[in-house]
Amino acid sequence: MAEVSTATVSRVVNGYPHITPEKRERVLKVIKQMQYEPSSIARELRMSQTRRIMVTAANLTSPVVDELFRGMERRATEGGYKVFFAPTSKNYDREVDLMDQLVKRVFDGAVLFGSTLSVKELETAAKRYNIVQCSEFVPARVAGVSIDDEAAAKDLTAYLLSHGHKRIGLLRKSSTYSGQARERGYRAALKEAGMAADTPLIFEADYTYQGGIDATGTLLSSHPDITSIFCTNDLMALGCMNALRASGRKVPNDITVVGFDGTIESTMCEPQLTTISQPHFEIGYCSMDTLINTIESGRRQSKHRFLPHTLTIRGSA
């Protein structure tokens, strides 16, 4: 009668936000006309636990994700839960479809690593379902676990400044919250040192090896006098170091490079990479612990927990 799918009806009944006003109105009108009321069996199904948890991420192959997932699986296994990992490929529609599994009670809850949902959408969903953000997050009133990216970037920039660097380039991905926070930390350290951030020294780059190569080439062509490059991701930093090597520059003699994340890849280069090390296993473990506590207590949380980071000094800077 409403001329919509059963999934759409389910989303309206359960208050899911990703419905157009026109479809929502049609469904609610039919519900009212038919005096619809969920059956007691359906209610019991919704109240029962599945002991299944969904974990979403843009991809399942990055070095960061591997350690996070190991921590999540450890805690889930301890609690008697099964974990199902689902890649979103940073596709909004794909994530909405996956979140619909919470509406259908296929899973008891979800851990999200890098959501594409808006702040409003995420907060709305978190009021109805058990959701925890992990590491890469949207700045919403939703439970989460990560390091303080801004404070860590400030520490790393301050370290470079303490070694006399004044021309520090920044390669960051501004479309991510972590990239924005790390840029704020970079700017804060420069300001605290009495220096204004030189915006032309800030370049966009993907969190990939090729992203580091491409952005470094652009940076060097416009600012050949640069003395240090802060890459906001380790893979990006490895690409940066190879681009510098290809240009005839030696690290750290001619120019220094620092990364961010503390992945195993930061030790697989010469010189090894100075970086911010994140406790990825612990972040994953604590994220899952927060979710399981929420599921079993019935009390949803909105507090974000920051775990400590470490400045790991090696040969690149």
Per-residue pLDDT of the chain (317 residues; tens, 9 = 90+): 556 665 566 666 656 666 777 877 777 776 666 665 554 434 444 457 899 999 999 888 877 898 999 999 999 999 999 999 999 988 999 999 998 888 888 999 999 998 999 999 999 999 999 999 999 888 899 999 999 999 999 999 999 999 999 999 999 999 889 999 999 999 999 999 998 777 789 999 999 999 999 999 999 999 999 999 999 999 999 999 999 999 999 999 999 999 999 999 999 999 999 999 999 999 999 999 999 999 999 888 889 999 999 999 999 99
Partners of 109 in beta bridges? 53
pLDDT, position 60: 81
Check if the beta carbon of residue 77 is closer than 8 Å to that of residue 49: no
- Cβ contacts of 113 within 8 Å, gap of 6 or more: 55, 56, 57, 58, 65, 68, 133, 134, 135, 136
pLDDT, position 40: 40
pLDDT, position 278: 97
- Determine the Cα–Cα distance for residues 195 and 183; give it in Å rounded to an integer: 15
Check if the beta carbon of residue 88 is closer than 8 Å to that of residue 58: yes
pLDDT, position 145: 97
Written as one letter, the residue type at 152 is A
Domains and CATH numbers, the chain: 1-45 (1.10.260.40), 46-147+282-307 (3.40.50.2300), 149-277 (3.40.50.2300)
List the structure tokens of 310.
Answer: 């470490």
- Cβ contacts of 111 within 8 Å, gap of 6 or more: 53, 54, 55, 56, 72, 131, 132, 133, 134, 287, 288, 291
Q: What is the 3-state secondary structure (H, E, C) of 175-215?
A: CCHHHHHHHHHHHHHHHHCCCCCCHHHEEECCCCHHHHHHH
Q: Which pTM does this prediction carry?
A: 0.83
Sign of CA dihedral 201, 207, 213, 214: negative
pLDDT, position 35: 60
pLDDT, position 275: 98
pLDDT, position 42: 46
- Determine the Cα–Cα distance for residues 132 and 102; give it in Å rounded to an integer: 13
